[in-house]
Structure formats: structure tokens, C-alpha cells
Chain A
Amino acid sequence: MEPPPPPEPPKPRPSPAGRLLNVLSGLGLATILLVLLGLLTWLATLEQIDSGLHHTLRKYFDWRAWYLLPELGGKTVPLPLPGGYWVCALLALNLTLGGLLRWRRDWQRVGVLVAHLGIIYLLVAGAVAHHFSQRGHMLIAEGAASNAAEDYFEHVVEVAEAKDGKPAAIQVIGGKYLTDLEGSASRRVRLPALPFDLELSGYIPNAEVKSAAEHAPPAGVPVIDGYYLAPKPAEINTEANTPACVARIIARDGSQAAPFLLSSTARQPFSVRHHGRVFTILLRKRLWLMPFTVRLDKFTAEFYPGTMKPSKFVSKITRSENGSDAKAIIQMNEPMRYANLTFYQASYQQLGQGPAARMASVFEVVRNPADQWPQYSLYVVALGLLVHFITKLAGFIMARSRPTPHV
């Protein structure tokens, strides 16, 4: 009689790090994260109706949003949720660890591994676009040309020396030096290339410049040359905000000139003569120069019958670069990709009224290093699933074709 086999030694309890690794690579976490992503997307879709797209995207999916409280119908829902960016980051980690640690070295499952890699690629593409893409728009009237796109949201202060009534040698003070100057905060901005510095203060994200002669200013609000800044509620479309601030020139000897107002709604820049040179200062959306010039040759818009719903916008353009011209057509769902830039047909405008009215095309201009990555990632996922299904099918057919042993 054989002796009974010795009992199996109990499995060693995993260390805390091992347990954490198990959780991070587990299917349970993946399920929770996917449910959270679906919930965040649904809530963000509802919230953007009242709060605007930019604000909502920033609240739900910006990397600085660790957590958020959703708002529905203007009321805060007391349900803290993790920020979408970090849910995606954790999902990417989960898929990576799950793929690496839990993938059994079974070549029949290589398709699943490839599909996992495709989804990770998609998530990485989202992160790259979030951190490194740049978006703006370019409005061009028929027959006109442009080589600059305008940022949707960032306002900058530009200081330029004026020569022959036009700006030259333009210095740009980025929006990051402005947006935290609400209230009594001020900042001295040193401009080594110019003979003076600027002091900026009193930033208001959405302001109206009012005439003190027409509307009495509230107590304590400074009136500068007959005008003052009145705050307005933020626009739902964030790009429609018109910020303003107070500026002052500080000469190299430390002397300060009288303050003046800067507003994105100003029709002319502020001008100052300094040691015989003329400088202009203005607040505007950041301009983003293209490596080529786009001329709008012809714009046509077609609408569904009896509606103003567009069925087709077509812009025929000429792209000029280094003395050579190239024709291109940009239309809905058929952007122009060139020099790492993508031009989408966004909308159109009519400039002016009556017989002199001209059509203008509006392009969304995007520089995104991961522009095509989502497409490639889907190819990878499709390839992985195809391999997986073929492997399974082959396994199934081979099992069926094997002779069944007779009993």
C-alpha cells in the first residue's frame, strides 16, 4: 500500500507589493475603470450643455483634474468622481501590467496581446494629444490670404515697435503671466529687448470696457482716461470671453507712466512714444504662424433644402511656400494635412452686407503629433482580434478534424 501523498505546502501569501500589483493588473480594476469612463463621458456630455465644451473638457479630462463633482441642471451632484485623464492613465497601466504579467506564454493568445497593445496605443495617443497638440482657427475671406491661425483660448499681451504704421519686432507676453492677476495681484514683466518693462494687473477673464461718462463706475473701480473695466459672467463658449487688464510702462530708470487699459475688444492698440520710438501694446488671442500662406480662391456652401443646415462646405485654396504654389481642396470630413498641420473645414462667415459682402471660410488648424495614432491603434486592435479569431477558428477546426477515439 502506497503511503498517501504529502499535503501540498500552503501557497505563500503575496507581499503587499505583489497584492498591489495583482489589483493594478486585475480584470476587476479594468471593469471599474471602463464603467467610470462611460459614466464620466455621459455626465460630461450632459454638463457641457450648460457649462460649455471647453470648461467641461477641462473639468472632466484635464490632467490637473484629480477629482470632480458633476453638475446636472446647474446643481452639484455630491458624488466625487476621479478625473478622466487619470482614469485613462490607470487603465493604460492596468492593460500594460495585465498584458505583461497575466499573459500566459501561449501563442494562441497572441492576438489578445496585440489587441491590448492597440488599446494602450490609443490611450497614449490621447495623452500625447492632450499635452502636445495645438489648436486654433484661421478665417480667410475669398481672395485673401493668411499665414496665421488664432488660438481659441489663450490671450497674450503683444508689445511691438511701430515702423511705417505697422508693427515690427513683436514681443509676446504669454497668457500664463496674465490669468493669475485677478484682484489686486500685479506682475512686473521685464522685456530685455525693449527700452521699458510692463506692469500688468487687474486681469478680468471676461470684461466690458465701459465709459464712465455713460455708466457710473462702482465704488473703488479705477477709471482710466474715462473708461473702466466691468466684469461679465463667463461665456458658455469660452472662446467668446473678452478679457482685459490694466497695464503700466516702467522705464529703465524706474519711473512709471500712467496706467492704461488693455482689452481684447479694443479696436486700436495702445501707442506710446518712448525716447523717440513708437511702441504699440495690445491684448489679443495668441497668433500662431504657419510655415506657409493659405489663399482662399473660392468658397461654396450647400445647405439641405429649406434649412440652414449645411450639407457641404468646400474651400478651394492655394498654399504658397518658398515661392511655389499648390492647389488644394478642404471640405467637411476631408481635411488638408501638410507640414504636420491639419486644416479642417470648420465653418464660414459672411463679411459685410449688401453687394460688397464677401464669404469667408473658417478653418480649424491643428498641430497634433498623435494626429493619426488613433487610426493606427484601431488597425492594431483589428489586427489583434483578427489573429485571435483566426487562431480560435483554426483550433476549433483542427479539434473537429481529429479522429474521435471509439470506445
Chain B
Amino acid sequence: MNRRIAIYLSLGLVGLVGCHEKNDVTVNETRAVSTRDGPFKEFATSDERFGNARPSPVTGETPPGWSVQPGNEFRLLNYRFGPDGSGEVWVSAASGTLADNVNRWLRQFGAQPLDDAGLQALRRVAILGGSGVWVQAEGAYAAGMGAEPRAGYGLAGVITEVQGQILTVKMVGPAAVVKADSPALEAFVKTLRLADPAE
């Protein structure tokens, strides 16, 4: 009787083990090429394979020395620059008014918010067929979301309103790096254009 039970248990165990695929298998299955197997890009990078697929509604000419980074839902265009890549530039669509955004940036550097007169006094630069205000600041940069303030940082950027939407171009990094690349930023801003919706 015990022997019979042992046989049944062994068979059951073999059956259970047999239900699982082995960790080393040989596969010979093939299929023919179909109409679904179109051309592809050889050696696509991970950014090309997995990066944000949505085309940015804004395009621009990348200045020399800047490297293009993958965009995301907050950064329509995204770049790094500087000797060690410590500087960042990104183009975003933002909510609120132009004044809200100027003062939000300033507060991130511990600077006093501007009143209307202060806003009027800001330098204006050409952008997207109109003009935007040039904002700059230096100090300890608190990016928000609980991030530790980073001392010795600099800000340069442009905020404008396009078709009822606030658009920001923000450069942040170590103060010296930002100062050195501010002219490149101003040149970059002039190259921005809205993508053709039909494209």
C-alpha cells in the first residue's frame, strides 16, 4: 500500500515538474516574412526606441556644445551644456501669467518678486515672432519638490506668451557656466519656431 502511494506521489511530482518550462531550452520555431515586417532603423538608440515619441510643438537649432536630451511631458526641448554637462536648458509650456512665472523663477533663487514696474523694466528679447522678458538671477537654487538648494547657481531665461500660452526657456547651472553660455541661449531663443501642425 505504501509503495503504491509512493508511486502515485512520484508520478504527481513528475507531472508538476513537467508543467514548468526548463531554464535552458532550444528553440527552432521560425516564421516567414510578412507584410507587417517593414523597414526599421538599424542600431536605434534606447532614446529612439523608448524615448518620448510625441513631437515637440517647438523646434530650435541646437547651439554648439549643447547636447540634446530626451524630452518629457514637462520639457518640450531639453539640453545639457557646460564642460561637465552641469548646465541645463529646457523649453516648457507653463500655466499662470507671465508675472507669475517670472516671480516663481526669482523665488527659486531667493530673489524678491517683481512688481509691475519691475516687470516692465526687464529686458525684452525676440522670440517666436514676438518678444519675451529676459530673466536672470544668481544664488542658491531651490528647484522645489523638496530638493536641497544648490549654492552658486545661475539662472538665465526667457518667458513669453504665444497664442495665449506661456512658454518658458530656462537655463540653470553653476553661475559661471550659465554666464558663459548666456549669449548662446539668446541666439538659441531666436531660432525657436512653432512646429507646423500638419507635419
Contact = CB atoms under 8 A, between A and B. Distances in A.
Interface of A: 145-148, 150, 158, 160, 162, 165-174, 176-177, 180, 185-193, 209, 211, 213-214, 224-227, 261, 263, 265-271, 273, 278, 280, 287, 289, 293, 354
Given A166-B39, A173-B29, A270-B49, 17 more contacts: A146-B36, A147-B35, A166-B37, A168-B33, A169-B30, A171-B29, A173-B27, A174-B29, A189-B27, A193-B28, A214-B70, A226-B47, A268-B48, A269-B40, A271-B42, A280-B40, A354-B198
Interface residues of B, number: 37
12 contacts: A166-B40, A170-B33, A180-B21, A191-B26, A192-B28, A224-B46, A226-B46, A227-B50, A261-B50, A267-B49, A269-B49, A287-B31
Contact of B31 (A172, A226, A267, A354): A172
A176 B22 CA distance: 11
Contacts of A224: 46
Nearest to A140: B35
Interface of B: 20-51, 53, 69-70, 72, 198
| 7 A-B pairs closest in CB distance | A268-B44, A148-B34, A225-B46, A209-B50, A190-B26, A172-B29, A266-B49
Contacts of A147: 34-35
Given A211-B51, A213-B70, A268-B41, A190 B31 contact: no
A213 B45 CA distance: 15
Given A177-B27, A269-B40, A211 B33 contact: no
Given A187-B21, A213-B69, A172 B30 contact: yes
Residue in B28, B32, B33, B44 with the greatest tally of chain A CB atoms within 10 Å: B33
Contact of A148 (B35, B43, B48, B53): B35
A361 B128 CA distance: 41
Contacts, number: 126
Residue in B25, B27, B31 with the greatest tally of chain A CB atoms within 10 Å: B27
> Could you tell me the dominant secondary structure of chain B's interface residues?
loop
A145 B35 CA distance: 7
Contacts of A174: 27, 29
A278 B20 contact: no
Contact of B21 (A176, A225, A268, A273): A176
A193 B27 CA distance: 9
A47 B69 CA distance: 45
B27 A191 contact: yes
Contacts of A211: 50-51, 70, 72
B25 A177 contact: yes
A377 B127 CA distance: 74
Residue in B37, B40, B44, B49 with the greatest tally of chain A CB atoms within 10 Å: B49
A209 B43 CA distance: 18
Nearest to A166: B39
A214 to B, nearest CB: 5
B162 to A, nearest CB: 22
B40 A165 contact: yes
Contact of A166 (B33, B48, B50, B53): B33
Given A180-B20, A180-B21, A193-B28, A289 B34 contact: yes
A177 B49 contact: no
Contact of B50 (A145, A160, A265): A265
